[in-house]
Amino acid sequence: MTDEQIVSDLAVILNEVAGVDQSKVSADKSFLDDLEVDSLSMVEVVMAAEDKFGVKIPDEEVKNLRTVGDAVAFIKKAS
Partner 1 sequence: MSRRVVVTGLGALTPIGKNVSETWTNALAGKSGIIKISQPWAEGLAAQIAGLVTVDPFEVLDRVSARRMDRSTQLGVIAVKEAWVDAGSPDINKERLGVFFGTGIGGLTTVLEQYDILNSRGPDRVNPLTVPMIMPNSAAAMVGLEVGARAGVHSPVSACATSAEAIAGALEMIRNNRADIVVAGGTEACVNRLAIAAFASMRALSTKNNEPQIASRPYDIDRDGFVMGEGAGALILEEEEHALKRGVKIYGVVSGAGMSSDGYHIAAPEPEGAGASRAMVAALNDANAKATDVAHVNAHATSTPVGDIAEYKAMKSALGNALDNVVVTATKSMTGHLLGGAGAVESVFTIMGLKEGLIPPTLNLKNQDPEIKINVAKDEPYKLSANANFALNNSFGFGGHNVCIAFSKN
CB count, 10 Å around CB of 20? 23
Residues of the shown chain interacting with partner 1 in the complex, contacts defined by CB under 8 A: 17-19, 40, 43-44, 47
C-beta of 3 vs 61, nearer to partner 1: 61
22-to-3, 7, 52, 73, 74 alpha-carbon distances in Å: 15, 10, 17, 19, 20
Minimal distance, residue 23 CB to partner 1, in Å: 16
C-beta of 4 vs 16, nearer to partner 1: 16
C-beta of 28 vs 59, nearer to partner 1: 59
